[in-house]
A and B are shown apart, each in its own frame.
Chain A
Amino acid sequence: MSDEFEKAYHREKAARLEAEKLLEDSSRELYFKNRELEAANENLKRNQQQLVQQEKMASVGFLASGIAHEINNPLGYSLSNMTVLKEYADDLAVMMKALDTATDLDTVRDTIVDDNIQHILADLPDLLAESIHGLESVKQIVSDLRAFARSGEDSAATANLNEILQTTLNVLKGQIKHRYPVETHLGVLPPVTCMAGKLSQVFANIIINATQAMPDGGKVYIETRADGDHVIVEISDDGPGIPEAHLTEVFSPFFTTKPVGEGTGLGLAICYAIITEDHRGSLSVTNGAGRGVGANFKITIPLC
């Protein structure tokens, strides 16, 4: 190799080393930036979980008055029955005492006739059955509420979406039953692996939105069906639908048409994340495509 070529060769080699050094410096910088981004991403995920929980708790707050009514009603008549039962118990105690101290059968019979034991005996089964039913209703409402408000660490388990919908409707009942009758068309569904608490939150959010779209009342329609390796839930209403210009924005974070202070604009964005990220499904909205003439939300969840 001539001297000139050798010099050029060593120069090129030095240039390559220099270029590699620059590349490594950039790679190192990129590595640290990447670490920062990963940390920021983790932080965002944690915040998102908190937002999901906050949004859920906001729904619980919204539902509180309806739930209180739902609990108060059966509790009221159960308590009233208990008062009557107490009186009956007192009467029966008097009768038992009379029996205990009686010297002749006629006196006992008179006491029993006075206290109208036939009426008490006839009324007892109804009072007890009604009270048990009332208390079981309260227990069911509390159980559904607990399922709905489950914390953010909702774990995946096999469940039937019809049952989750029913639980959600039980929780919403107090808020919607009079002005917003719900028409359900629940098909036979295979079980899916899902996070029941989170799905319940999605269903509740969409149903509450539907009622808010119909301030003068109207029907909410819920339809479920199996379709190949997916299950589909469609929730529609008889409201005016979502303006065409907003159809593509409703799942964007912080998008809301409600007055300032009334909506965070996160509800449907969180629903979208729950369906697409946590369940690898899809969530879309169209107008007039469901049983109702208004907005129709379509949720698709894969079977596995």
Chain B
Amino acid sequence: MNTKAILELKDISMYFPGIKALDSVDFSIRPGEVHALIGENGAGKSTLVKIITGVYKQTAGQVLLNGEETNFKSALDAQSAGITAIHQEASMFPELSVTENIFMGHHVKKGASGKGPVDWKTMRQRTRELLDDIELDISPDALVKSLGVAQRHMVEIAKALSIDAQIVIMDEPTSALTLREVEDLYKIIRRLRDEGKAIIFISHKFEEIFDICDTYTVFRDGQLIGDGNVSDATISSIINMMVGRSLDLLYPKGESTIGDVVLEVENLNRTGYFKNISFNLHKGEILGFFGLIGAGRTEVMRVLFGIDKASSGEVRLNGKPVSFTKPKKAMKAGIAYIPEDRHEQGTILDMSIADNITLPNVDELSHFGILDEKAERSLAEDFAKKIEIKSAGLNMKTSTLSGGNQQKVVLAKWLSTGPEILILDEPTKGIDVGTKARVHKIVSDMAAEGKAIILVSSELPEVLGMSDRIVVMHEGFVTSVFEREEADPDKVMLAAIAQPGDESA
């Protein structure tokens, strides 16, 4: 293990407007090493991966490949330099065959000069070999849209292997795989390692890290917290590094009295997204929803807010069965939903701050469909003040604000509707610590006023710090529900990574 590093990152920083995604971090990996990259969502792992794969250009610092400084201008540059990545979100061509998905961008051609026609026979043969390698029993000619999620992931893996890469990055490669497929993947990883390749392995599942990884690096809030050999670490030492910060400051969970049940969800289903979801929500309660990306939490919330339709099941509001076919109906019933994607769903960036805040209220503020600009203005001003939005004026476009202030606009927008039930989906993703604390305070205050709150978050400390109860989901199912007292990081994380089948037992 004393060979020289194949890839070395020195003093890397990456700034986005209003946020330091990475702050002077170092990272290195040697050939024949499987290196775990560990951290919560937003800790800086994916930013680091994007710098390595040429998607982002670092603000400062050096990337050395085989001791030489690189300057990737695109993902393609990194690829030709022998770096390949298996992305978390499959970037595939659903209408095309498995073979083509694997070879798009580097089709094999006939003829010695490589100028002949595309050589389907060879590509199909190589695909066959790659698929055999990972023991995936599908035809190279199968269209990707006909494959299941796990199969697609395996194809992504095959795609990465089709490039003769020196460095393979795997971003949560097992999140959609069954146990048997995970075993196959381990075999592949071990083989690659023995061939002298360097593997960067990103995972939330600790047992995987201990099963397969040699070394690890932990990130938190864009900073390097610790690294070393996996054999020297324990689960609890790693969790400590991931989470270790003073919880009370950032999570000012106040006292609130839990009242009657307002919302009952019973055996809710949406085909292909989640199954048999049941839970209750009380007045004054903050109900946390934890799970990995793709666990189905957002999909449940979308149904509750009337964006999507449930396939079956019942939702009762104050004891009465309801079925919201449109968001407007959910809003009238007193539900507000702060969506996951601030830019695509939460705000309209090219509209003014004031217009964004009043958008869900325009109907209520109008007379016979005619806008009441005065009333709108005063409502916007009230809530901008209450939420402390820092801006040069409410007529400014929302796009001119920092991420944190944009999120405050979204909060103001929905608090102004006077909701009884507030659903927040990843409300503090990608915002600075100050705004984060402010958001938590507002949520906590609302609960103290007796409002019912659902907090969906992939940040374990946030869920642990803020929730009265925690619902944990895994691949479309609820695996556990924890009371505040009994919830600890280990238990909750274990529930979130449970293999399918466990919950039915």
The answer to whether A binds B is no
Residues in B lying within 8 Å of A, measured CB to CB: none
